Amino acid sequence: MENNKTDQDPASFELALKELETIVKQLETGEAKLEEALVLFERGVKLSRFCAKQLDDAEKKIELLVKDSQGEYKAVPFEAEK
Protein backbone atom coordinates (compact mmCIF):
# COMPACT_ATOMS: atom_id res chain seq x y z
CA MET A 1 0.00 0.00 0.00
CA GLU A 2 1.30 3.44 -0.92
CA ASN A 3 1.93 5.84 1.96
CA ASN A 4 0.26 9.10 0.90
CA LYS A 5 -0.12 12.43 2.65
CA THR A 6 -3.43 11.47 4.30
CA ASP A 7 -1.68 8.63 6.15
CA GLN A 8 1.15 10.75 7.54
CA ASP A 9 1.14 12.57 10.86
CA PRO A 10 2.34 16.17 10.63
CA ALA A 11 5.81 16.98 11.93
CA SER A 12 4.56 19.72 14.26
CA PHE A 13 1.50 21.62 15.44
CA GLU A 14 2.50 24.63 13.36
CA LEU A 15 2.85 22.61 10.15
CA ALA A 16 -0.45 20.83 10.81
CA LEU A 17 -2.23 24.14 11.38
CA LYS A 18 -0.75 25.64 8.21
CA GLU A 19 -1.80 22.61 6.16
CA LEU A 20 -5.27 22.71 7.73
CA GLU A 21 -5.64 26.39 6.80
CA THR A 22 -4.66 25.57 3.21
CA ILE A 23 -7.22 22.76 3.06
CA VAL A 24 -9.97 25.02 4.41
CA LYS A 25 -9.19 27.63 1.75
CA GLN A 26 -9.28 24.98 -0.97
CA LEU A 27 -12.62 23.63 0.24
CA GLU A 28 -14.10 27.12 0.59
CA THR A 29 -13.51 27.86 -3.09
CA GLY A 30 -15.79 24.99 -4.05
CA GLU A 31 -13.63 24.24 -7.08
CA ALA A 32 -12.45 20.79 -5.97
CA LYS A 33 -14.15 17.80 -7.53
CA LEU A 34 -16.17 15.66 -5.15
CA GLU A 35 -13.54 12.93 -4.78
CA GLU A 36 -10.76 15.48 -4.19
CA ALA A 37 -12.95 17.39 -1.71
CA LEU A 38 -13.59 14.19 0.25
CA VAL A 39 -9.85 13.46 0.44
CA LEU A 40 -9.19 17.05 1.56
CA PHE A 41 -11.96 16.85 4.14
CA GLU A 42 -10.61 13.56 5.52
CA ARG A 43 -7.12 15.06 5.82
CA GLY A 44 -8.59 18.16 7.47
CA VAL A 45 -10.37 16.08 10.10
CA LYS A 46 -7.15 14.18 10.84
CA LEU A 47 -5.19 17.44 11.14
CA SER A 48 -7.87 18.98 13.34
CA ARG A 49 -7.72 16.00 15.71
CA PHE A 50 -3.92 16.14 15.73
CA CYS A 51 -3.96 19.86 16.62
CA ALA A 52 -6.59 19.35 19.33
CA LYS A 53 -4.51 16.58 20.91
CA GLN A 54 -1.36 18.71 20.76
CA LEU A 55 -3.18 21.59 22.49
CA ASP A 56 -4.63 19.24 25.10
CA ASP A 57 -1.20 17.75 25.80
CA ALA A 58 0.34 21.23 26.09
CA GLU A 59 -2.40 22.35 28.47
CA LYS A 60 -1.66 19.39 30.73
CA LYS A 61 2.00 20.42 30.90
CA ILE A 62 1.37 24.02 31.82
CA GLU A 63 2.03 24.82 35.43
CA LEU A 64 1.41 27.98 37.37
CA LEU A 65 3.87 29.21 39.92
CA VAL A 66 2.08 30.26 43.10
CA LYS A 67 3.08 31.30 46.58
CA ASP A 68 1.94 29.05 49.40
CA SER A 69 1.01 30.19 52.94
CA GLN A 70 4.69 30.10 54.02
CA GLY A 71 5.70 32.43 51.21
CA GLU A 72 7.35 29.62 49.24
CA TYR A 73 6.78 29.27 45.52
CA LYS A 74 5.51 25.93 44.29
CA ALA A 75 4.36 24.56 40.95
CA VAL A 76 0.73 23.54 40.64
CA PRO A 77 -1.07 22.05 37.64
CA PHE A 78 -2.88 24.45 35.36
CA GLU A 79 -6.65 24.01 35.36
CA ALA A 80 -8.33 25.53 32.33
CA GLU A 81 -11.81 26.94 32.59
CA LYS A 82 -14.26 24.69 30.79
Q: Which residues contact 81 (CB under 8 A, 6 or more apart)?
A: none
Q: Residue 20: inside a domain, yes or no? A: yes
Number of domains in the chain: 1
Task: Tell me what the mean pLDDT of segment 12-16 comes to.
Answer: 95
Q: Residue 38: inside a domain, yes or no? A: yes
Sign of the four-CA dihedral 44, 48, 54, 58: positive
Q: Residue 72: inside a domain, yes or no? A: yes
Is residue 2 very low, low, confident or very high in pLDDT (cuts 50, 70, 90)? very low
- Are 37 and 27 in contact by the 8 Å Cβ rule? The answer is yes
C-alpha distance from residue 3 to each of 6, 11, 13, 55 (Å): 8, 15, 21, 26
Phi then psi dihedrals of residue 14, to 5 deg: -65, -40
pLDDT above 60 for 42: yes
Q: Residue 82: inside a domain, yes or no? A: no
pLDDT at position 8: 77
pLDDT above 80 for 67: no
